[in-house]
Structure 1
């Protein structure tokens, strides 16, 4: 982060402060020189004058140093105020950028959540269709089993009647009418058996069709689930970009 700029009048103040410090040092040196001269001369009047002069020169040096210190503190305060203003402007800019980024991120998250909700609804609908198809398949399977049981029962009945017919043919002539009736019943049972076999064949075809429909619905569910995962991955990549 770049620091705020310093006012252009800083260089002249530095030169002014350097002049004051040199002048204060010169006054102190001059006072020391006067004290040395007074000591060398051995005169009381010269010593008193040197003491008075040293006091005045020392006071002037202290005043110059004090003014330099005040100016330095005021300059430091102005520099800190300028830097604080620069930092505040930079902070406000970054806060605005952060707020914009947060708003954009929240919008992306809302759109992703809406997409996930739609995909979940479609998935639930597909699962319901799968359940309905499976229920229809189970019903067809039960119908097929019932038809097969009926075919087996009619086959057994046909065999029994055939056996009775064979036994009746070996009997007396008076039993031929009964045999004819038995044969008629047998023929009727055969026709019923054929009808049952035809219904069983239709049931087998229906089961095959339901299984194909179930496979199609499962394929659609897998495709929708894959598309949802692909959309979520694309949104994540865009977010990271």
Structure 2
């Protein structure tokens, strides 16, 4: 934005001419009253009226030009504000769409993780059930010994992996829930 001194208009030549015409009229009237000549007084009076009317007309035309210039400036400023508002509206819409897309992606990822967690828990329960069945069989069939021991160790490994995977998936689900809560809270903060 320009400084106030840069926006100050230069004194118009027309206003300078109008002031000069009024000064000439004042000098003529003063000289006529001092000279005390009737025809000169009449001439000075008529000249003062004519010069005053001319000065008034010049000042009026300057005022009208100033008003037209001001109206044009206001129209240009209004157009600039309208353009700026349109840009900001477009930016806001794009931002809102981007945030909605991100939230949708996070919700989809959270749903997928919850599904994977549910499956992992089912597998862990199944593995635990199998582990318990193997343990009972091992007690009953101790004569099979080594074969059963190998299967038992494998079942324990699978159970441990499943428990580890369940813990990992629960941790990922907690992180995604926290991110989703943050994303959902952000649009409310932006509107405020």
Question: In structure 2, how many angstroms separate the alpha carbons of the residues matched to 1:116 and 1:219?
Answer: 19
Q: 1:222 aligns with which of 153, 167, 172?
A: 167
Measured after TM superposition, the shift of residue 119 of structure 1 is 0.9
Q: 1:49 aligns with which of 43, 50, 53?
A: 43
Which residue is 1:115 aligned to?
Answer: 109
Measured after TM superposition, the shift of residue 139 of structure 1 is 5.8
Which residue is 1:72 aligned to?
Answer: 66
Which residue is 1:84 aligned to?
Answer: 78
Measured after TM superposition, the shift of residue 231 of structure 1 is 8.2
TM-score, normalised relative to structure 1: 0.57
Measured after TM superposition, the shift of residue 87 of structure 1 is 2.6
Which residue is 1:101 aligned to?
Answer: 95
Which residue is 1:32 aligned to?
Answer: 26
Query: Could you say what the CA RMSD is over the residues aligned between the two structures, in angstroms?
Result: 3.8
Q: 1:58 aligns with which of 52, 55, 58?
A: 52
Question: In structure 1, how many angstroms separate the alpha carbons of the residues matched to 2:112 and 2:141?
Answer: 47
Which residue is 2:6 aligned to?
Answer: none
What do the CA deviations read for 1:117-163 (whole angstroms, capped 9, x no partner)?
Answer: 1011101111222233334455666x48xx6xxxxxxxxxxxxxxxx
Kept in 1, the 8 Å contact 2:110–2:176? The answer is no
Question: In structure 2, how many angstroms separate the alpha carbons of the residues matched to 1:132 and 1:30?
Answer: 113
Question: In structure 1, how many angstroms separate the alpha carbons of the residues matched to 2:92 and 2:20?
Answer: 57
Question: In structure 2, how many angstroms separate the alpha carbons of the residues matched to 1:80 and 1:221?
Answer: 67
What do the CA deviations read for 1:204-233 (whole angstroms, capped 9, x no partner)?
Answer: 947655443321101222344566678899
Kept in 1, the 8 Å contact 2:18–2:55? The answer is yes
Which residue is 1:150 aligned to?
Answer: none
Alignment of 1:212 onto 2:166: no
Which residue is 1:198 aligned to?
Answer: 142
Q: 1:59 to 1:199 in 2, by over 3 A?
A: farther
Which residue is 1:159 aligned to?
Answer: none
What do the CA deviations read for 1:86-105 (whole angstroms, capped 9, x no partner)?
Answer: 33223323322332333233
Provide the aligned length of Structure 1 versus Structure 2: 171
Q: Rg: which structure is higher?
A: 1
TM-score, normalised relative to structure 2: 0.69
Measured after TM superposition, the shift of residue 31 of structure 1 is 0.8
| 2:167 counterpart SS class | helix
